[in-house]
Structure 1
Amino acid sequence: MKFWEETKTIFKNTGMHFRTGVSYMLPVILIGGVAGSLAVLGGTEIADGTIWKILKDIGEIGLHYFVPVMAAYTAYSICDNPGIAPGFIVGILAQQIDTGYLGALLGGILVGYVTYMLLKVQLPSMLQSTWGFMAPVFSTILVGLFLFYVVGPPIAALMAFLTDFLTNLGEGGSGILGAVMGFLGGIDYGGPFSKTQSTFATAVMDIDLFVPLGICGAIVTVPPLGMCLATFLRPKLYTKTEKEYAKSSWLYSIIGGFTEIVIPLAAGDLWRVTVATAIGSTVAGIIAGYFLLELSTPVLGVAQWFFYDKPLIFVLSVVIGSITVALVANLLKSMSNRDIAQLEREEEEEMD
């Protein structure tokens, strides 16, 4: 086995492995997003046994399990079928230790790589026949321990620091608070940073502070709407899959209000899209915070529109934030060397 050559090849093709994971994850997040968006139309209090409750449950399942599905098929891209189960389990663990979709992507790559390398180990014939079953077990345990003990603790410590920081900002300086919350909400799309600011926004309602929730509600749809707008303004900068996904995402981004919707548009060009969504969400958060936008009920999507004290400020922050995302994303992509034709050929090969 040519260890270093194979290692270099696997990590050189990280983008392709991510795109494979995203392509298998897309149907899951689409089902979850559409069902969850429709459930919002049933109101803020949904009774058990109703169609709205069923739609809500379907939506929650889709928007929860898309992360381990993405990790599973990222690992599959590296080592074929033996990577699916390890990737799925590592993806769930990444959620449980609050590392979000970024932790799941990292876990998927690592567990796929470790599984691939373990399967290359040559053992005596008596052991070799069972090694194909045991290698994924060992790779899952090794990567799981790495995520739990190495990746998890620093993220948890950072989350605690950010929570304290946001609490102190909440006592004054709403514009600064909006900027910080916007930045956190724009960098990991429902992951630990996003959850820190949204959890904080919900928690301070108990002391009658509603501006943080107003900021949170304003920024949540900015990443997906901004990236959908970006594909409309400069379609040549995006692959066919990205454009088709964006076209189908406009409506349920507005109706459902899920930041996670942007992930398929981010995973294929992670740092550029993340920079754009972080900047756009920060702009939206500053506007919402500066004008003291308040949201009195912790709901998302269409339902939240009726609980803002300043609806025009909400619209203004979302529109300006989304336009900022689109302009920054397209500027960065236009300066990059992304080969769209090559990416589309790889997408076609992955689908065959």
Structure 2
Amino acid sequence: MKFVAVTSCPTGIAHTYMAAEALEQAAADSGDEMHVETQGSAGSDPLDPQIIADADAVIFAADVEVRGRERFAGKPLVQSGVKRAIGGAPEMLDEARAAVAAGPPAGDAAPATAAGGGGLATKVDSGAGFGTRLRQWLMTGVSYVIPFVAAGGLLIALSFALGGYLITEAPPIEDGFNPGSSQSWARLLFEIGGVAFSFLVPILAGFIAFAMGDRPALVPGIVGGYIAGQVSAGFLGGLVAGLLAGAVVLAIRRIKVPKSVRGIMPVVVIPLVSTLIVGVLMFVVLGPPLAALTAGLTNWLNGLSGANKVFLGIILGLMMAFDMGGPINKTAYSFAALGLAAATPASFQIMAAVMAAGMTPPLGLALATAIRKRLFTHVEQENGKAAWVLGASFITEGAIPFAAGDPLRVIPSLMAGSAVTGALSMAFGATSRAPHGGIFVVPLIGNPFLYLVAIIIGTVVTAVLVITLKSLRRTPEEAADETPATQQAAATA
């Protein structure tokens, strides 16, 4: 059969593309034809209309509203969350075949308001409940700010590697640039990275507002985020500014105006009025208390030591492993990555702990599949080989296929291993000025040897727990489900 699919997750990063790969692989294994449109953070390449017309059925693996949904009207449709496609793509193909046999339901035309395939994406399901939409608003802001975090953070980290930690005291590039001096190049990287970092809070606030009120909300959101930086309200101020800007724009759009001025509302009136309101509130009303709260949080983090610091590492580790790239994972990562802008010892330690804890889940599962192959299916063994690279690259999502198939045993094991790693990283005082990169930025890590020790110990803890839980609770049905390839691999092992 011929299938088309659309995959999309709230942040539009790893899950979107892992789901697409899983669907393509499942179709290849079953001898079917599959074309996938990924509506991710890099944009989307819409499917050819002829390919859609020739398709027997459509699969939506999306946690947010699919853009251009009307293109697939009249086709048998199977829908699920993006994580199900990662762990259960063959089953989704079976459901699609059943949908073809049943035929498309009556009245399945897509909503006329569905967005087109191009442009900026809000990644918000307008029909969801408030809690879900709030999470999607925040995740939209995070998805657009992560490239700034990665670019700025890695440039700053490279500047320290090239010029040492005294690079902050080097003469500014504006005073002159010497192409033959490594210090000049280091300072140049440092300043470019600093510029990228200066956009973090405004972009975060702007795209939270954009997710709520569409393009007219970008201006008050970005301006409110910039003001949050000016009054030292930081990351918390950006969150508040974005939500405030979106709410103000939504409120203004509900006001009925004469037809003669409707054309200028989104271009002139809404940006003008909303920016004025948000600016006044951020400067005069909300900015000062948010700045005090941010200063208190910063002082608390800098004052952490001993058991308190280790406890924070445990909490961050548990968050990184709980949903492996989902909202809780992204909350911990955003807290660490955006905190790098403060450039304090505590912020560098938090970033190191978060990155280490995010590497442990796929590495632990890769180790488990290498040690006890018979406990895993042939597909999981193949995923285990890829998990070595994913874990080393700080892509926690590499653990999702394992967790989707056996969540009650896998997820607690992952959380325990990541909690150990986060605690040890904080206890060892490891630091990271790089917000990403995994094992490849270890030369830029403070206390790199102990940092690697923390990762190795957490990996071993994860692997031991996974193997133990799978062995203790292994049922006859699971043993009978082993494929011949799995049994042969077990005998070889």
Q: Shorter-chain-normalised TM-score: which range? A: 0.5 to 0.7
Q: Is the 8 A contact 1:181 1:216 kept in 2?
A: yes
Task: Call closer, same or farther: CA 1:81–1:192 in 2, change over 3 Å.
Answer: farther
Structure 2 residue aligned with 1:286 = 423
Normalised by the size of structure 2, how large is the TM-score?
A: 0.43
| 2:301 counterpart of 1:170 | yes
**CA shift for structure 1 position 148:** 4.5
**CA shift for structure 1 position 103:** 5.7
**CA shift for structure 1 position 107:** 10
Q: Take 1:243 and 1:136, find their aligned partners in 2: how far apart are those partners?
A: 41
**CA shift for structure 1 position 213:** 0.6
Structure 2 residue aligned with 1:202 = 337
Structure 1 residue aligned with 2:203 = none
Structure 2 residue aligned with 1:72 = none
Which of residues 114, 134, 155 in structure 1 aligns to 2:107? 134
Task: Call closer, same or farther: CA 1:284–1:155 in 2, change over 3 Å.
Answer: farther
| 2:438 counterpart of 1:301 | yes
| Matched residue type, 2:374 | K
Task: Call closer, same or farther: CA 1:83–1:288 in 2, change over 3 Å.
Answer: same
**CA shift for structure 1 position 249:** 3.1
Task: Call closer, same or farther: CA 1:272–1:93 in 2, change over 3 Å.
Answer: farther
Q: Take 1:28 and 1:137, find their aligned partners in 2: how far apart are those partners?
A: 25
Residues 1-352 of structure 1: pairs in structure 2 closer than 5 A: 25-26=21-22, 64=40, 82=57, 84=59, 87-88=60-61, 90-93=62-65, 104-105=82-83, 132=105, 134-135=107-108, 137=110, 144=125, 147-149=128-130, 151-153=132-134, 167=297, 170-171=301-302, 172=304, 173-207=308-342, 208=344, 209-254=347-392, 256-338=393-475, 339-344=477-482
**CA shift for structure 1 position 91:** 3.1
Task: Call closer, same or farther: CA 1:301–1:81 in 2, change over 3 Å.
Answer: farther
**CA shift for structure 1 position 150:** 5.5
Q: Take 2:372 and 2:38, find their aligned partners in 1: how far apart are those partners?
A: 30
Q: Take 2:136 and 2:63, find their aligned partners in 1: how far apart are those partners?
A: 16
Q: Is the 8 A contact 1:272 1:332 kept in 2?
A: yes
**CA shift for structure 1 position 329:** 1.0
**CA shift for structure 1 position 273:** 1.0
What's the C-alpha RMSD, in Å, of the aligned pairs? 4.6
**CA shift for structure 1 position 244:** 1.8
Q: Is the 8 A contact 1:182 1:285 kept in 2?
A: yes
**CA shift for structure 1 position 136:** 7.0
| Matched residue type, 1:26 | A
Aligned residue pairs, count? 255
CA deviation string 1:145-201 (max 9, x = no partner):
6644464447989x999x999957634222111011000001111111111111111
- Structure number with the higher strand fraction is 2
RCO comparison, higher one (Cα < 8 Å, 6+): 1
Normalised by the size of structure 1, how large is the TM-score?
A: 0.58
Runs of 4+ in 1 over 6 A off after TM superposition: 21-24, 106-109, 154-157, 163-166
CA deviation string 1:61-89 (max 9, x = no partner):
98958xx9xxxxxxxxxxx96551xx23x
Q: Is the 8 A contact 1:211 1:289 kept in 2?
A: yes
CA deviation string 1:14-39 (max 9, x = no partner):
xxxxxxx988643779xxxxxxxxxx
Q: Take 1:153 and 1:252, find their aligned partners in 2: how far apart are those partners?
A: 30
- Structure number with the higher helix fraction is 1
Q: Take 2:126 and 2:482, find their aligned partners in 1: how far apart are those partners?
A: 36
Q: Is the 8 A contact 2:428 2:451 kept in 1?
A: no
List gaps (5 residues or longer) in structure 2: 1-16, 26-36, 45-54, 67-79, 115-123, 143-234, 240-292, 487-493
Q: Is the 8 A contact 1:297 1:304 kept in 2?
A: yes
**CA shift for structure 1 position 299:** 2.6
**CA shift for structure 1 position 266:** 1.7
| Matched residue type, 1:253 | G
Structure 2 residue aligned with 1:34 = none
**CA shift for structure 1 position 270:** 1.7
List gaps (5 residues or longer) in structure 1: 1-20, 30-60, 69-79, 95-101, 123-128
Q: Take 1:302 and 1:335, find their aligned partners in 2: how far apart are those partners?
A: 33
Task: Call closer, same or farther: CA 1:272–1:247 in 2, change over 3 Å.
Answer: same
Q: Take 1:214 and 1:308, find their aligned partners in 2: how far apart are those partners?
A: 8
Q: Is the 8 A contact 2:365 2:387 kept in 1?
A: no
Q: Is the 8 A contact 2:349 2:429 kept in 1?
A: yes
Which structure is larger by alpha-carbon Rg, 1 or 2? 2
Q: Take 2:389 and 2:84, find their aligned partners in 1: how far apart are those partners?
A: 30
Task: Call closer, same or farther: CA 1:245–1:136 in 2, change over 3 Å.
Answer: farther
CA deviation string 1:263-286 (max 9, x = no partner):
112211122111111110000000
| Matched residue type, 1:170 | L
Percent identity of the aligned residues?
Answer: 22
Q: Is the 8 A contact 1:249 1:261 kept in 2?
A: yes
Moved more, 301-310 or 210-219: 301-310
**CA shift for structure 1 position 134:** 3.4
Q: Is the 8 A contact 1:234 1:330 kept in 2?
A: yes
Task: Call closer, same or farther: CA 1:81–1:92 in 2, change over 3 Å.
Answer: farther
